[in-house]
Amino acid sequence: MAAEGTLPPMTGNASLLLAAWLTAAWSCLAGAGEPLRVGMELSYPPFEMTDPQGRPTGVSVRLAEALGGHLGRPVKIENIAFDGLIPALKAGHVDCVISSMTATPERAKSIAFSDPYLETGLALLIAAKSPVTSAADLDAAGRVVAVKQGTTGQQWAATSLKRARMLVLDTEAAAVLEVVQGRADAFVYDSMSVYTNHRRHPAKTRAALAPFKRESWAVGLKQGNEDLRRRINEFLATFRADGGFERLGDEFLPEQKAYFKEHGIPFYF
């Protein structure tokens, strides 16, 4: 008989059952706490960026953190160059991509997308002395059009411009500099970034903000991962209904929201 306050020794079968139960319980706990690895390029403020201490922040970071909370998983941000995000996703280095990525038919051939969470479009940052006023003016002999590698701006220019010279650059800052210094007529990028860069260089640039090509941003994930896709779509619907996107806009994009409303340009959340 066991002494008072102690448990009787377990039989071999009972010990094996307990070990199996503990292993299963630990596996469930480990799965619940498995980090959600989110790929993004932290060089696109105010959506993807770092704070003064070098920590990830911005609209997409907050969105990823809210998604992690919905899934019950901690979030690990993986900072990857934009044109490396899809390869990283396909190779399994990240679970999803939240990086202001446009859901295009071309990209949908190799990865899956969630429902759209933001509508935007291509706009133009134009050199102050260039005769260009719209996208229709770009395709002419002698025109130079700056684009960022791997973006839909590059895709559009590659298929739409037959006579202009396309200047493909690795970063947004490099493309903006070409326009500011007058070496490129225009930079093809999204309207919110065009607005921000024009505000930084008002004497050297003009902004054609009304999108000449509408686009939607979505979360990228591996093809076949339908469970994660379903749960992300549920999160996006709930987050929108709870006013989450409006709060992100108010926090990170208040000036843009006010300007776009004043000038009759749709604000896209």
Question: pLDDT, tens digit, for every residue of 177-197?
Answer: 999 999 999 999 998 899 999
Is domain 121-215 annotated with CATH 3.40.50.720? no
> Average pLDDT over the chain, rounded to whole?
88
| Residue 268 confidence (pLDDT) | 66
Distance (Å) of CA 243 to CA 9, 149, 240, 255, 269: 57, 34, 5, 19, 10
Is domain 32-117+218-262 annotated with CATH 3.40.190.10? yes
Domain boundaries, the chain: 32-117+218-262, 121-215
**pLDDT tens per residue, range 20-65:** 333 333 333 334 579 999 999 999 999 999 999 999 999 999 999 9
Topology agreement, domain 32-117+218-262 and domain 121-215: yes
Its pTM stands at 0.76
11 falls in which pLDDT band (50, 70, 90)? very low
| Residue 145 confidence (pLDDT) | 98
3-state secondary structure of 68: helix
